[in-house]
Structure 1
Amino acid sequence: MKRTGSCLCGAVRVSVDAAATDLGACHCARCRKWSGGPLMELECGSDVKFEGFENIEVFKSSDWAERGFCKVCGSHLFIKSVESGEYGIPPGLFDSDKGIDFNRQVFFDKKPDYYSFSNTTRNITSEYIYEHFPQARDENT
């Protein structure tokens, strides 16, 4: 299934050829600061194409990740692993949400008390993340 979409103003378009269906939420402090709440991201792999690249600003938010946003409207476009080149893209950018499965929450133990999802998900703690992805450890998570 190919997914296509754009930022709010349309200056940046995105397309993903992979079957991007796995949706997660990240509750770490860095993602919450960037997104204003939990970061919802669809796992899109590394085969992601952008049009309007001149309108994308990339911010290296840690040693292991970059975040992109539209310079025109400010829409959050992606979080990208520096090591693997894999993208997590907010599902709201895509024209269709068919087939998306909200199946995991990471840094679940860092989630503030003021919100909660009703979906049944795999709830992954910071301890698990740091054990399996030590590069993710920093003072801002």
Structure 2
Amino acid sequence: MNEVKTPLELSGRCLCGAVTVTATAADPILRACHCSMCRQHTSSVFVNIRADQDSIVMNGPVKVYKSSDWAQRAFCEVCGSTLWYGLIDDNSRNLAAGLFENAGAATLAMEYFTDDCPRGYAFAGDHQKLTRKQTFALFAPDEGEAQ
């Protein structure tokens, strides 16, 4: 018999509470990105939780920044908390895991740009680790180094 999973209900907020977010996650996993833009935007690795795109509701002073020709990032206009990273063509949003208590209780499943990860830290565990070349091949094969 197939087990039917109940989607995880996510509810979170930015640091100051001005932005609130709710979403569901049918398969809540964490993904970490070590690219230079994510590290500059967050001052570290960007860890996001995969949520069902049509379920994301965000209220408050959200500021969107177009970080490249194909990607954008959002943050709270009041406190600067990172809210999401997304692709422009499909309007996808990868929510910052830090918005949710205990990162939504999700498990790390994937790292991107592992060859760009600073030497000062590393994630433990058995999960998929993609290099810069593998990450671009997956998401933007025609873009090369532009992120």
Question: Which residue of the partner structure matches residue 134 of structure 1?
Answer: 141
Question: Which residue of the partner structure matches residue 6 of structure 1?
Answer: 13
Question: Which residue of the partner structure matches residue 51 of structure 2?
Answer: 44
The AA in structure 1 aligned to 2:51 is C
Contact 2:26 2:52 in 1 (8 A): no
Quote how far apart the aligned CAs of 1:78 are: 0.6
Question: Which residue of the partner structure matches residue 72 of structure 1?
Answer: 78
Classify the secondary structure of the residue corresponding to 1:16.
strand
Unaligned runs of 5+ in 1: none
Classify the secondary structure of the residue corresponding to 1:127.
helix
- CA deviations 1:98-138 (Å, max 9, x no partner) are 54010111011111211111122201111112223225533
% of aligned pairs identical?
Answer: 32
Counterpart-to-counterpart distance in 2, 1:119 and 1:28: 20
Classify the secondary structure of the residue corresponding to 2:25.
coil
- CA deviations 1:85-107 (Å, max 9, x no partner) are 22111111013545401011101
Structure-2 change in CA distance of 1:95 and 1:113 (3 Å): closer
Question: Which residue of the partner structure matches residue 106 of structure 1?
Answer: 112
Counterpart-to-counterpart distance in 2, 1:28 and 1:136: 14
Provide the aligned C-alpha RMSD in A.
Answer: 1.7
Question: Which residue of the partner structure matches residue 128 of structure 2?
Answer: 122
What's the TM-score once normalised by structure 2's chain length?
0.85
What's the TM-score once normalised by structure 1's chain length?
0.88
The AA in structure 2 aligned to 1:66 is Q
Classify the secondary structure of the residue corresponding to 1:92.
helix
Classify the secondary structure of the residue corresponding to 2:137.
helix
Structure 1 residues 12-91: aligned runs within 5 Å: 12-19=19-26, 21-47=28-54, 48-52=56-60, 55-91=61-97
